[in-house]
Structure 1
Amino acid sequence: MEIFSSYNIIIEASIIVILSFWFNGISKKTNIPSVLMLIALGIILQYVLGYLASSKPDFEGALEILGIVGLIMIVLEAALELELKKEKIIPIIKAMAIALIGLVSSAWVAALIMHQFIPDMTMQSAWLYATPLSILSSAIIIPSVSELSEKKKEFHIYESTFSDIAGIMMFYFLIGGLKPSEDNGVAGFSINLLITIVIALVASYAIILVFQRIKSQAKLFLLIAVLLLLYAIGKKFHLSSLIIILIFGLVIANVKLFFPGKLATFLEKEKINQIYHELHIITLETAFIVRTFFFVIFGLTIVLSSLFSLSVALVSILIMISIYAIRFVVLRAFFGGDIMPQLFIAPRGLITVLLFYAIPKEAQVATFESGILLFVIIGTSLIMTWAMIKEGKKMGSLLDEIDQEVLARNKSEDALWAKNESLKIQESAVPLKERSINQSASDGIDPEKE
């Protein structure tokens, strides 16, 4: 049977997209991340392919491309939702600090664990393997926190986005250390970052001013193509390319802030608003499609037997304990006692897998089990699922209590209103009787005799 014929691939891809849409619906009702369902679908397809096909195609190239495009779309999607206002400066700074402290601390402890328990793992390689495992997955977090309060939802969007960007920058900084001829140290890295920010701002202003004048209806995929081009060229020149995507998203989402005073006269506000809203929709749709195929293909490449290794379980559980222990300390320091369910919303996902495949050959360790990656991704996702379900039940019971209080108050108010109406009727009856007596007296009629 020809599984990979043109029409079969179209049928299979269409069914996967339909199932992914259905998984999203289930996720909203149950708080189970759709990513877990997509990975499970990929694992099932792996066994189906093994039964029907004589050989399995190599998916690693497709996984890397999907991961890069998905990463760009997810960061752009998050940036388009970030409003830069004075009252949000403190929450943004707080989220950035938590993301950075959590990232570096988690990577350091995970590196120590792997250096200790994995043979032939040098500390330099351990840092490279630990960094992807320390990055929060905005691909999982952003769609999963929509039911939380606005304040907590914004925190998770800020934190996961900063964790993505800082984690990727840290990973490539560590890779630079593998090649002394290309390693410019902290000073060189800071200059690189500054150059990237300047290029990002110039490119963002230029793109907005040019694209608002394009009259063609098919310009949004052209805009995405330009962003992909800038990202790829930036990577070729060893720039922090994700900063370009983030800054463009922030500029177009906050045009009033970036085009103040006389600069605002260069804008055609209606067209800018139209570009923003249409770009938001296309980014959401593209991120959904890319995320769907990325995690299904990841499921197809998983070696399940590695999960049943005692050493894999030991290292993975120690890493997960360190993740939540560090997160508990950091969140308590910044938020006090109000750290639920934020404490357990720390899944690993798309970027973890993408960076794992980007580890250079000279830093790869043959004794590292890829099952550790899968164990941590599934484990942190399941813990988040449990926390979100628990929070959903808590919110449900809280709403029930509020409904009961409102109902009791309404009943009390109704009873009070009825009592007041009764008193009014009684009070109005007394003057009526008095008027009747007075009228009878004036007519010469004795009321008592009557």
Structure 2
Amino acid sequence: MLLIAYIFDVSSPKTRIPSIILMLLVGWAVRQGANFFGIQIPDLSPILPVIGTIGLILIVFEGALELELNRSKKSIIISSALMSFVPMVILSFGIAIAFDYFSGVGLRSGLINAIPFAVISSAIAISSSQNLQNKYREYITYESSFSDIFGVVFFNFIVRNEVISIKSFTDFTIQIIMILIVTIIATLGLAFLLSKIRNRVKFLPIILLIILIYTVAKMYHLPALIFIFIFGLFIGNLDKFKRFSFVERLQPEVFVKEVDKFEELTNEITFSIRALFFLLFGYLIETSELLNTHTIMWSSGIFVGIFILRSIFLKVFRQNIDPLLFIAPRGLITILLFITIPEGQQIGLVNNSMVIQIIILTAIFMMVGLMITGSNKRQTT
């Protein structure tokens, strides 16, 4: 199935069909085939959060490795950060208020259930933007990576604080300071290891250490994705920090070549994990969930809200509507946050059906938008 997923991924820039739709379809078809032939397959649902978490780590890391840091990027970083944060918060509160109004669940429970739908999936956005102009691809990489980070931090903040008070924000500030300290120490340590390991197997241990540091940071309720993003930016732009004596010891000229190899391996592992996640999620989809008429109105309303708000803020931040409007898919991060909603905070209205429908609606909208963008370019050239 990974070979099939690879074919989908390679052909996606040509067909403009997001590979996620095809992967979900293959996973679903395997489930139907297993049921038809009476093949007993064990419950695979407990594996989904594990694969999803590893996938999220690698996707954010992969995106950060590709980004270039220099003074000219200041405006794009600020714009993409605001574009990922402000609409996410407004949309989350808007959906939460609607949940509370129609279901009486309370604003906090509404927020916990709404945030997963407000976060752009970098897993889909970055891979789907590969055929765009460099400036758009870079913007989408920044925006979707920031969206993942802000979304996870915002979600965890609401989940862990039953009452929002000054103490909540004080504790949160302390957590940010702590993760920044951990990030500096871990980044320098891992960069040093990467430059000194001479064994043939050197990149996989670094990836495992990254996952380990992320896991330990999560155990202490620290926003660990910040570490992943900063570490990726640092080693991907090491030549920009030559003025620091520590960086000189890493021999940047040699180190950059090693990072290129590391990036290639990361890309391949990330693809495998991402494909496994969506194939497995597709396998776990029930046909009745996909065709659930009770949630389709809500899913459609949230879908419309996402892109109305996006179009407004693209204009506010003076970004091109075409093609950026279309690339705001929901996917891995939506699923991952949804399945980690605490049992006591889950509301009946927000279920697998709504998650699947919104993922598919945003993916189809992105597909149509990219097709229109591509055809318009061909007509003008």
Q: How many angstroms does 1:310 deviate by?
A: 3.2
1:69–1:290 contact (8 Å) kept in structure 2: yes
Deviates more, 1:57-66 or 1:128-137: 57-66
Match status 1:89 vs 2:78: no
The aligned amino acid for 2:154 is: M
**Shift of residue 120, structure 1, vs aligned partner:** 5.3
Larger CA deviation: 214-223 vs 106-115: 106-115
Deviation at 1:261, TM superposition (A): 4.2
Decide whether the 8 Å contact of 1:113 with 1:315 is kept in 2.
no
- Residue 384 of structure 1 is matched in structure 2 by 366
Offset at residue 184 of structure 1 (A): 4.5
Task: Name the structure 1 match of 2:126.
Answer: 142
Q: CA shift at 1:290, angstroms?
A: 0.5
d(CA) in 1 for partners of 2:224 and 2:210?
Answer: 10
Match of 1:416 in 2: none
Q: Tell me the secondary structure at the aligned position of residue 2 of structure 2.
A: helix
Task: Quote the offset at 1:288 in angstroms.
Answer: 0.5
Q: 2:90 aligns with which of 100, 105, 109?
A: 105
SS of residue in 2 equivalent to 1:212: helix
Q: Which amino acid aligns with 2:359?
A: I
Contact 1:176 1:182 in 2 (8 A): no
Contact 2:236–2:259 (8 Å) recurs in 1 = yes
Match of 1:394 in 2: 376
Deviates more, 1:40-49 or 1:378-387: 40-49
- Residue 175 of structure 1 is matched in structure 2 by 159
Distance 1:261 1:239 in 2: 28
SS state of the match for residue 347, structure 1?
coil
1:341 alignment partner in structure 2: 323
**What SS is found at the alignment partner of 1:217?**
coil
Partner letter of residue 189 of structure 1? F
Which residues of 2 match residues 44-443 of structure 1 at below 5 A?
Answer: 44-53=29-38, 55-117=40-102, 119=103, 121-178=105-162, 184-335=167-318, 338-399=320-381
Letter paired with 1:32: I
**Alpha-carbon RMSD:** 1.8
2:321 aligns to what SS in structure 1? coil
Q: Is the 8 A contact 2:242 2:252 kept in 1?
A: no
* CA positional deviation for 1:103: 1.0
- Once the two structures are overlaid, the 10-residue window that deviates more, 195-204 or 205-214, is 205-214
Q: What are the superposed Cα offsets for residues 79-129 of structure 1, whole Å, 9 maximum, x if unpaired?
A: 001111000111111110111012111111121232234x35332111011
| Higher mean C-alpha deviation, range 219-228 or range 19-28 | 19-28
Contact 1:132 1:351 (C-alpha < 8 Å) held by counterparts = yes
Q: Which amino acid aligns with 1:47?
A: Q
- Check 1:70–1:348 CA distance in 2 against 1; reply closer, same or farther (3 A cut): same
Q: Work out whether residues 239 and 256 of structure 2, in 8 Å CA contact, stay in contact via their aligned partners in 1.
A: no
Radius of gyration: which is bigger?
Answer: 1
Cα offset, 1:308, TM superposition: 3.1
Unpaired segments of 5 or more residues in structure 2? none
Measured against aligned partners, the alpha-carbon deviations of 1:147-197 in whole angstroms (never above 9, x if no partner) come to: 21111111111100000100001111111124x699941121121012101
* 2:13 counterpart residue number: 28
Label 1:367 to 1:159 Cα distance change in 2 as closer, same or farther (>3 A).
closer
Contact 2:27 2:283 in 1 (8 A): yes
Task: Give the Cα separation in 1 of the matches to 2:133 and 2:379.
Answer: 16
Distance 1:181 1:151 in 2: 39
The 1:367/1:107 distance shift into structure 2, 3 A limit, reads closer
Q: Give the Cα separation in 2 of the matches to 1:381 and 1:65.
A: 24
With over 3 angstroms needed to count, the CA separation of the structure-2 counterparts of 1:296 and 1:370, relative to structure 1, is same
Mark the runs of 5 or more structure 1 residues left unpaired by the alignment. 1-15, 400-450
**Residues of 2 paired with 1:373 and 1:334: CA distance?**
29
Partner letter of residue 165 of structure 1?
I
Deviation at 1:56, TM superposition (A): 4.3
Cα distance in 2 for residues equivalent to 1:73 and 1:383: 26
Which stretch of the first structure deviates more once superposed, 108-117 or 60-69?
108-117
The CA distance in 2 between the partners of 1:107 and 1:63, in whole Å, is: 24
Aligned residues: 381
What's the counterpart of residue 442 of structure 1? none
Q: Distance in 1 between matches of 2:351 and 2:223?
A: 29
Name the CA distance, whole Å, in 2 between partners of 1:102 and 1:55: 44
Looking at structure 2, the residues matched to 352 and 124 of structure 1 have their Cα atoms a distance apart, in angstroms, of 18
- For residues 235 and 121 of structure 1, do their structure 2 counterparts lie closer, same or farther at Cα, with a shift above 3 Å needed? same
User: Contact between 2:214 and 2:225, CA under 8 Å: does it hold in 1?
Assistant: yes
* Residue 207 (structure 1) shift: 1.3
Letter in 1 for 2:128: S
- Per the normalisation by structure 2, the TM-score is 0.96
Q: How many angstroms does 1:132 deviate by?
A: 0.7
Aligned partners of 2:38 and 2:156: how far apart in 1? 38
Contact 1:50 1:56 in 2 (8 A): no
Give 1:314 shift: 1.0
Ranked by relative contact order (alpha carbons within 8 Å, sequence separation 6 or more), the top structure is 2
Secondary structure of 1:359 counterpart: coil
TM superposition score normalised by structure 1: 0.81
Shift of 1:370: 2.0
